[in-house]
C-alpha cells in the first residue's frame, strides 16, 4: 500500500493534534506546505488553495484543536480528532462535480 501525500498530511495533523506538548515550529508549517504541494499535484487537495496560506491555517487548526481539548476535556479525544479530520477533509479536497 502506497503512503500518499494526503495520508502523510493527515498523519501529521493527527500527530500534533494528539500531542499538545509538541511545539508547532516553523518546520511543522513547512512540512504541511510540502505535503499540500504534493497533494495538489496528485489531485487530492484543491488546486485553488494557496499552499503557504493553507499550511498556516492547518497549523492554526491544530492550535484551535488544542484549545478546544483544554476547554472541553469531557469530550472524548477521538471524537474531537474525528471532527478535525472531517473539517480538514471537506476544506482541502477538490469540490465534487454536481
The single residue listed with the C-alpha cell 499535484 is: 41
pTM of the model: 0.90
C-alpha span between 13 and 72 (Å, rounded):
19
Confidence of residue 94 (pLDDT cuts 50, 70, 90): confident
Interval 66-89: pLDDT, tens: 999 999 999 999 999 999 999 999
**SS3 state at 20:** coil
Q: Quick one: CA torsion of 53, 58, 63, 65, rounded to 10 degrees?
A: 140
Which residues make Cβ contacts (< 8 Å) with residue 70, sequence separation at least 6?
A: 20
pLDDT exceeds cutoff 60 at 10: yes
Amino acid at each position: 500500500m502506497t503512503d500518499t501525500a494526503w495520508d502523510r498530511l493527515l498523519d501529521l495533523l493527527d500527530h500534533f493534534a494528539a500531542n499538545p506538548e509538541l511545539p508547532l515550529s516553523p518546520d511543522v508549517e513547512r512540512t504541511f506546505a510540502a505535503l499540500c504541494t504534493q497533494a495538489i499535484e496528485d489531485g487530492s487537495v484543491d488546486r485553488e488553495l494557496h499552499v503557504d496560506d493553507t499550511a498556516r491555517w492547518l497549523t492554526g487548526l491544530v492550535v484551535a484543536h488544542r484549545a478546544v481539548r483544554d476547554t472541553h476535556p469531557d469530550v472524548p479525544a477521538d471524537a474531537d480528532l474525528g471532527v478535525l479530520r472531517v473539517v480538514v477533509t471537506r476544506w482541502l479536497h477538490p469540490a465534487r462535480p454536481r
